[in-house]
Amino acid sequence: MTTNPQNNEPPEPEKKKAATLEKIAALEAIRNEFKGTASRSQAARLLEALARYSINTFEAMRYLDVYHCPARILQLRKQGHNIITHWQTVVTEAGERHRVGLYVLNSGAGQHGGH
């Protein structure tokens, strides 16, 4: 682990910047297009969003109304979609740090077409 040369302490976890207003608007439009609480509806919203952006767990909950993102990611992977998970630390509105998944759709070989 590297340390901060100014105070010889471990560096602060990288803070995830808030989603841009443009991204939020796009995610909310997707949520409004793919309505419903069924797992298939949530997976459809998430896949459509992943086709445009990387999405973290908090964004999926807040803007796409996907409340168990890892389960929907697993569902999409079982359908053959190549989704990569990266880990990041985000800071909530309460100022608490959380480690969350950042999901990226890999559109390379083996990727199913269509939504």
- Helix (H, G, I), strand (E, B), or coil: what is residue 19? coil
pLDDT at residue 107, as a whole number: 80
The neighbour count for residue 24, using CB atoms within 10 Å, is 14
Instruction: Classify burial at 92, counting beta carbons within 10 Å of its beta carbon; exposed 0-12, middle 13-18, buried 19 or more.
Output: exposed
pLDDT at residue 18, as a whole number: 56
| Digitized pLDDT (tens) for each residue of the chain, 115 residues in all | 333 444 444 444 333 445 799 999 999 999 999 999 999 999 999 999 999 999 999 999 999 999 999 999 999 999 999 999 999 999 988 999 999 999 999 986 444 444 3
